[in-house]
Chains A and B, each alone.
Chain A
Amino acid sequence: MSVIDFLVPASEACLRSGPNDKIVLSSRVRLARNLRTVPFPSHSKKAERIKAFETLMPAVKSLTLLGQEIFAESMDKLPALDKQVLVERHLISREHAAKNAGSGIVLNREENVCVMVNEEDHLRIQALRPGLQLRQAWMAIDAVDTALQEKVEFAFSERYGFLTACPTNLGTGIRVSAMLHLPGLVLAEQINQIIQAVNKLGLAVRGLYGEGTEALGNVFQVSNQMTLGEPENDIVERINKVLLQIIEHEENARLSQMEKKPAVLLNHIGRAYGVLGNSWSISSKEAMNLISFLRLGVDLGVFGKTPKSLTDELFLRSQPAHLQLAHPLREKLGSDERDLFRAQMLRERTSLIPNPDPQALLGRRDESSPE
């Protein structure tokens, strides 16, 4: 079975919901682990990488925690399109998508535990959850890690903890991150302040696909940088606390925009609706920035009962690999063709959304200031 058949369709994937998911799109915890006796993947010879692969794939596949139905494959068996779809679903890194023989992926049926074999480390095990669920994600991946430790021996030092290829991951090997949708803070021009404050707390703020990527569609990824010198729980709790504060700031920014500048908000949301519903060629960057305002409109009740899953689906389906997948010929599209096809898909789906209702914003403003 190909991974595309294994994955649920985009529409279904976007139905997953969790706490605070108006602002927190998803939570993730990943652990980096290495075998004690084999050099790290970046420095190992092909034979050593294969040895690590052949040790780790069966160990991961046999984890009862992952359930009966899993997808497990060597990266060289995956077509480029399938790899790109996995990147767009945030299941593997862009670096891992570039790997071939000697690297692999194991994914469970729920698509909430995904293991990369021979990425930068021998193992990158990750748990994903919709909305703000960092604790749940940590507990899930902690259990997977503990179960794996009964099967293989990880590189561990009494001094430095779990040993990793890059010293930035040393100790716990943990990376706790959440994907946030922050249009309110961007519109209120408070986002840079927030990013600076978050950076000062030792957390990194990045774009949609992690390290070195742009914050398209007002989506930001917040994650810890320090991995050594404190327990996993402290790291998880610290980020959780910071995220709750960011959520509060985003909510306040939205409220104050609604009170002070409802016309500006409506203008952004209305124009986004207009362009998405009527364009015949649209780049992914423009589309994502407009879909962000559509999502904000849905959050604020401007589009009646339209579920936010619909805007999330538009976001996912606008990505290059998902577009190609939806194309009748499944051929690799040139960027011009892609922009045409993206516009067509967006027009069709935006037509399912009712016209924006200005009263939803203006009415709410009257309620909040009765005098």
Chain B
Amino acid sequence: MVCQFCKLKEASVHVTEIADNKVKKVDACAACAKEKNYNDPAAFAIADHLLGLGAAQKMEEASEAVGALSCDQCGYTQADFKKSGRLGCAHCYDIFSDGLDSVLKTMHKDIRHRGKVPAGMKSAFEGAHKLEGLNRDLQVAIAQEDFESAARLRDEIKAFKASE
């Protein structure tokens, strides 16, 4: 079978898509498939193997959640992440963080760092964690309709932010 795009090379990627109840078949060579972004869904199985069962599905969800994002510093894309299960640079963690948390939940004890902190980062790190804790308590207080505590926490958060 010849690639339907370049009509030159042998088609090696065959994708059947079902969208709006219509079946669409694509037969492409490796180069055209890459160009048209028809990825091999089996690539996710590698993630399962590497990162534990369920990781692949989470990664797929994650890469959907981040949409067509790419890192503005290193150019890493969602497709790269999908394929390798790895990130391109430190900044990628900011860019892809929305989708990443669900992946991290499947592999780690928690999604917040609780270990060693570089000497120069200590106060900022503790500050960020304190603020996060206060915000969480505030949400709980609101959910429980404990408005007295909620008001106190709100003021605390305000004061904490002002002090930073």
> Which residues of chain A are near B25, meaning CB under 8 Å?
none
In residues 84-117 of chain B, which contact A (Cβ within 8 Å)?
Answer: 84-90, 93-94, 97, 100, 103-104, 107-117
Interface on chain A toward B: helix, strand, loop, or mixed SS?
A: loop
Contact of B104 with A170 in the complex, beta carbons under 8 Å: yes
Residues from chain B with Cβ under 8 Å of A40 in the complex? 86-89
- For residue B81, give the distance in angstroms from its CB to the closest CB of chain A: 9
Smallest CB separation, B105 vs chain A (Å)? 10
| B74 within 8 A of partner (CB) | yes
A232 to B129, CA, bound (A): 18
A49 to chain B, nearest CB (A): 13
Q: Is the CB of A226 within 8 A of B118?
A: no
Does B125 interact with chain A (Cβ within 8 Å)?
A: yes
* Residue of chain B at shortest CB distance from A145: B116
Give the distance in Å from the alpha carbon of A167 to the alpha carbon of B125 in the complex.
20
| Contact for B128 among A39, A158, A202, CB less than 8 A | A158
Quick check: is A192 within 8 A (CB to CB) of the other chain?
no
Is A230 in the interface zone, CB < 8 Å from B?
A: yes
Cβ contacts A135-156/B at 8 Å (1 or 0 each)? 0000000100110010000111
Interface assignment of B44: CB less than 8 Å from any CB of chain A: no
Partner of B113, one of A149, A154, A161, A165: A161
Q: Which residue of B lies closest to A155 (CB)?
A: B90
CA distance A157 to B74 in the complex (A): 17
Point out the residue from B85, B94, B116 that lies within 8 Å of A232, measured CB to CB: B116
When the two chains form the complex, which single residue of B84, B85, B88, B104 contacts A228, counting CB atoms closer than 8 Å? B104
- B side interface size, CB within 8 A: 38
Alpha-carbon gap, A168 to B110, bound state (A): 12
Contact B93 A156, beta carbon cutoff 8 Å: no
Taken together as a complex, chains A and B put the C-alpha atoms of A226 and B114 apart, in Å, by: 12
CB contact under 8 A between A171 and B103, given known A34-B90, A228-B108: no
How far apart are the CA atoms of A172 and B116 in the complex, in Å?
A: 7
Interface centre among A36, A160, A165 (most CB of B within 10 A): A160
CB-defined contacts of B88 to chain A, threshold 8 Å: 39-40, 43
Q: Does B128 contact A171, Cβ atoms closer than 8 Å?
A: no
Residues from chain A with a CB closer than 8 A to the CB of B111 are: 159-160, 228-229
Residue of A nearest to B97 (CB): A159
- Complex contacts, A225 vs chain B, CB 8 Å: 52, 107
Query: Nearest Cβ in chain A — how far from B49, in angstroms?
Result: 9
- Cβ-based interface call for A360 (8 A): no
- Residues in B with CB closer than 8 Å to A269 are none
Do residues B84 and A42 form an inter-chain contact, with CB atoms below 8 A? yes
Inter-subunit contact A168/B119 (CB<8 Å): no
Taking a contact as CB atoms under 8 Å apart, the answer to whether A156 and B89 are in contact is: no
Q: Report A-chain residues with C-beta under 8 Å of the C-beta of B76.
A: 39, 43
CB distance A228 to B89 under 8 Å? no
**Complex contact B116–A167 (CB within 8 A):** no
- Report yes or no: A161 in contact with B115, Cβ–Cβ below 8 A: yes
Q: Pick the residue among A43, A149, A157, A229 that contacts B110 (CB under 8 A).
A: A229
Q: B-side interface residues toward A, CB under 8 Å?
A: 50-52, 73-74, 76, 80, 84-90, 93-94, 97, 100, 103-104, 107-119, 121, 124-125, 128-129
6 contacts between A and B (CB under 8 A): A39-B74, A39-B76, A42-B86, A157-B90, A228-B110, A230-B109
Other 10 A-B pairs with CB < 8 A, given A40-B88, A42-B86: A39-B74, A43-B74, A43-B89, A158-B113, A167-B85, A167-B100, A170-B108, A172-B115, A230-B109, A232-B116
